[in-house]
C-alpha cells in the first residue's frame, strides 16, 4: 500500500497542478474518480494485470467505458497511466488528488455517526464547532449506528472525537483493567 501511494503521489500532484492551472478542480475530480472506478472493477483490473492483453486494448476498454465523460486531457491522463503501467494506482491517485483539492479549497469531509438521527440543529452545531477547530469549511455526512448505545462519534480527517456510550464504556474497561 505504501508503495502504491508513493507511486501515485507524483501523478496526483501533476494532475492537481494542471487542474488548478485550468481552474477546473471539480471537473478533474470527476475524471480521476471515474477512471479509478473503472480500473478497480474486477473485470477491468484482470485485463490490466494480464500481460497478454496489450496496453492499447486496455486503454480502448477504459476509454470506451468512460465515453463522453472525459475531455481530451482526461483521455491523455488514461494514456499516460497506461503507458507507464500505472493504471493499477488510479484509485490512490484519486484519493491523493481529493486531499490536495480539499487542502487548496480549505475544506474537510466529516462524518457524524450517532446512535439516533441527529436533527438539523445538532448537525449545525457540530459543523460550527468543527469549522472553528479546524479552520476549514466542513462537509458533514451523517449516519446512524444503534450499536453506539448513545452519543456520537465525529471523524474529520485524522481527528476522531468519540463521545459514544460504547466508547466511554470501552475506555472505562481499559482503566479498570490496569
pLDDT of 1 over the 80 cut: no
Residue 130, classified by CB atoms within 10 Å of its CB into exposed (0-12), middle (13-18) or buried (19+), is buried
Q: Do residue 129 and residue 150 come from a single domain?
A: yes
Question: What's the domain range around 165?
Answer: 106-177
Instruction: Give the per-residue pLDDT at 54.
Output: 93
Flag whether pLDDT at 132 surpasses 60: yes
Q: Could you give the number of structural domains in the chain?
A: 2
pLDDT of residue 2: 62
- Residue appearing with cell numbers 478542480: 25
Q: Give me the pLDDT at residue 47, please.
A: 92
Q: Which of 135, 144, 134, 136 has the alpha carbon at shortest distance from 112?
A: 144
Structural contact between residues 115 and 28, judged by C-beta atoms closer than 8 angstroms: no
Residue 170 clears pLDDT 60, i.e. is over it: yes
In the numeric block, which cell numbers belong to residue 112?
A: 457524524
Q: Are both 63 and 122 inside the same structural domain?
A: no
The model carries a pTM of 0.75
Q: Tell me the pLDDT tens digit for each residue of 61-119.
A: 999 999 999 999 999 999 999 999 999 999 999 999 999 999 999 998 899 999 899 99
Neighbours of 115 (CB within 10 A): 18
Are the beta carbons of 159 and 111 closer than 8 angstroms?
Answer: no
Task: Give the distance, in angstroms, between the CA of residue 168 and the centroid of all CA atoms in the same chain.
Answer: 29
Residue 73's Cβ-side half-sphere holds a number of Cα atoms within 13 Å equal to: 15
Give yes or no: residues 85 and 140 share one domain: no
Same domain, 88 and 138: no
Q: Which of 48, 69, 103 is the last residue of a domain?
A: 103
Say if residue 59 is in the same domain as residue 37. yes
- Domain check: are 8 and 93 in the same one? yes
Residue 148: per-residue pLDDT: 85
Question: pLDDT tens digits, residue range 3-49?
Answer: 988 999 999 999 999 999 999 999 999 999 999 999 999 999 999 99
**163 and 141 in one domain?**
yes
| Beta carbons of 144 and 114 less than 8 angstroms apart | yes
pLDDT recorded at residue 154: 93
Q: What is the CATH number of the domain that holds 79?
A: 1.10.520.20
- Using the 3D structure, point to which of 74, 103, 132 is the last residue of a domain: 103
* CB-based contact 82:59 (threshold 8 Å): yes
End position of a domain, from candidates 83, 103, 123 = 103
> Are 68 and 116 in the same domain?
no
Mean pLDDT of the chain: 92
Amino acid at each position: 500500500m505504501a508503495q502504491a501511494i508513493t507511486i501515485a503521489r507524483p501523478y496526483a500532484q501533476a494532475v492537481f497542478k494542471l487542474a488548478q492551472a485550468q481552474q477546473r478542480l471539480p471537473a478533474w475530480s470527476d475524471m480521476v474518480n471515474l477512471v479509478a472506478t473503472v480500473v478497480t472493477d474486477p473485470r477491468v483490473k484482470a485485463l490490466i494485470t494480464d500481460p497478454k492483453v496489450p496496453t492499447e486494448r486496455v486503454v480502448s476498454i477504459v476509454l470506451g467505458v468512460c465515453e463522453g465523460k472525459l475531455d481530451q486531457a482526461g483521455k491523455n491522463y488514461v494514456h499516460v497511466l497506461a503507458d507507464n503501467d500505472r493504471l493499477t494506482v488510479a484509485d490512490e491517485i484519486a484519493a491523493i488528488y481529493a486531499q490536495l483539492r480539499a487542502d487548496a479549497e480549505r475544506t474537510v469531509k466529516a462524518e457524524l455517526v450517532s446512535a439516533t438521527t441527529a436533527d438539523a440543529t445538532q448537525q449545525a452545531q457540530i459543523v460550527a464547532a468543527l469549522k472553528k477547530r479546524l479552520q476549514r469549511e466542513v462537509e458533514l455526512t451523517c449516519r446512524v449506528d444503534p450499536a453506539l448505545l448513545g452519543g456520537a462519534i465525529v471523524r474529520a480527517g485524522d481527528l476522531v472525537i468519540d463521545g459514544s456510550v460504547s466508547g466511554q464504556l470501552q475506555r472505562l474497561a481499559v482503566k479498570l483493567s490496569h
